[in-house]
Amino acid sequence: MPPKSGDSAELNYDMNYNLFLLKTSMQNLKSAQDKHSVNRWVHKLLASNKSIAEMKLRNDFMYHLVTSVQEGELRAPFNQYPPSAPLSNLTYLLTGNAPSAGKDGNKGGGSWECDLSSEDTDKPMLYRQSPDGGAFLAAQPVPKCGAFCYLAVVSKPPAKDDKPKL
């Protein structure tokens, strides 16, 4: 189903507004390297318009880029050139943590680990215990006003010695 023109028009309007804000605040950056990095991010974000979901994610990245430039100092991930991966694979960059590999090298590992190493204590508990490191949550819309609720239902298979109750 193609995106509704109204949805994409609103998302494009927001993107263009953020582009205007970005252009007017570029003088806050002192380093030519930072300005070049911003330009590369803008080109990557402008090319991310294949679906409504991608456009929403693009706008989330753009918002964080604009706030970083307005403050005059680029924060991660914008202080580096954008990765070549599609934007949908980069949601972890908004949460500030890389995709984690499980004990056997697989992402997520399928277990709910509670590793409280010193580098992880800055992250919210929900992100630390999430198998994807919070990537799913980072891609979800967060209300400007009100509450955000997240509910997860997880089941585990019964142990071999457990007998079903009749």
pLDDT, mean of each 10-residue run, the chain (166 residues): 63 90 89 88 89 89 91 86 84 65 39 39 63 68 64 72 61
pLDDT of 162 reads 60
What residue numbers bound the domain in which 39 lies?
1-90
Q: Of the candidates 44, 42, 48, which has an alpha carbon nearest to the alpha carbon of residue 8?
A: 48
Regarding whether 82 and 4 lie in a shared domain, the answer is yes
What single string gives the DSSP state of each residue in 82-108?
Answer: PPSS-GGG-THHHHT-PPPB-TTS-BS
Tell which of 90, 106, 140 closes a domain.
Answer: 90
pLDDT of 95 reads 67
Tell which of 90, 119, 137 closes a domain.
Answer: 90
Residue pair 100/133 in contact (Cβ under 8 Å)? The answer is yes
Angle at CA of residue 86, ends 115 and 136, nearest 5°: 35
